[in-house]
């Protein structure tokens, strides 16, 4: 069994990773089990740059395989914002609610713009020997003007998926993984690992 350290303290993200990779012979640990792990500054210009930086840093620190996911919401009316700054959209230490409130306020400034958006996810699995596997996924949707649902995390309450006729906060984790950006990237990771 391979031990993989997920480079996150986000329990919602960790649960999705564990669930998606549950049928592989791996054990997933989160950074909550490594209190001395470094806080990696996500200062890259792209999701890929941030994911690579986190995966390499955590693999080097732990001496184990490290899986880093950098993901975020790309809103067309906001010229791609919040993008790589999705977790910090309302400032350092912002809560999900604060980020969602800011998103609603920013979209009110462009009332006639289309509310199209996509979630984007890039995953990098770095091994101690320097090998890296990279995957990505994206999921198209619309941004609502008020939150709906109580499941999920991040921008899920505002992200409406037309095919499901629901926000990501109104569906189960299983349903979300079937269509989400992270679900796509994790399925691609499983395919790549199966051919190694």
Structurally, how many domains does the chain consist of? 1
Q: In a 3-state reduction of DSSP, which class is residue 140?
A: strand
Active site residue 70: yes
> Which is the catalytic residue, given 70, 96, 145, 156?
70
* Res 147: pLDDT: 96
Per residue in 88-147, pLDDT (tens digit) is 999 999 999 999 999 999 999 998 899 999 999 999 999 999 999 999 999 999 999 999
pLDDT tier at 196 (50, 70, 90 boundaries)?
low
- Nearest to 185, CA basis, from 127, 116, 124, 117: 124
Quote the CA–CA distance of 135 and 186 in Å, as a whole number: 8
We report the CATH number of the domain holding residue 57 as: 3.90.950.10
Quote the CA–CA distance of 125 and 54 in Å, as a whole number: 10
pLDDT tier at 148 (50, 70, 90 boundaries)?
very high
Quote the CA–CA distance of 48 and 57 in Å, as a whole number: 14
* Res 81: pLDDT: 97
Cross-strand partners of 147 = none
Domain hosting 21: range is 2-194
Per residue in 22-80, pLDDT (tens digit) is 888 889 999 999 999 999 998 999 999 999 999 999 999 999 999 999 999 999 999 99
What are the backbone dihedrals phi and psi of residue 141, each rounded to the nearest 5 degrees, phi first?
-165, -160
């Amino acid at each position: 069994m391979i031990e993989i350290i997920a480079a996150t303290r986000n329990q919602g993200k960790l649960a999705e990773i564990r669930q998606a990779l549950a049928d592989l012979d791996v054990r997933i640990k989160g950074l909550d089990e490594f209190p001395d792990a470094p806080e990696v500054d996500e200062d890259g210009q792209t999701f890929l740059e941030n994911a690579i930086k986190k995966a390499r840093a955590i693999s080097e620190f732990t001496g184990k395989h490290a899986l880093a996911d950098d993901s975020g919401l790309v809103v067309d009316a906001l010229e791609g914002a919040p993008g790589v700054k999705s977790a910090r959209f309302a400032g350092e230490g912002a809560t999900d609610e604060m980020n969602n409130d800011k998103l609603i306020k920013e979209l009110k400034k462009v009332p006639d713009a289309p509310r199209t958006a996509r979630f984007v996810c890039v995953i990098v699995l770095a091994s101690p020997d320097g090998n890296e596997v990279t995957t990505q996924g994206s999921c198209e949707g619309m941004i609502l003007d008020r939150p709906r649902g109580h499941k999920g995390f991040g921008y899920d309450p505002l992200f409406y998926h037309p095919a499901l006729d629901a926000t990501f906060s109104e569906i189960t984790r299983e349903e979300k993984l079937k269509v989400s950006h992270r679900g796509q990237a994790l399925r691609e990771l499983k395919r790549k690992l199966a051919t190694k």
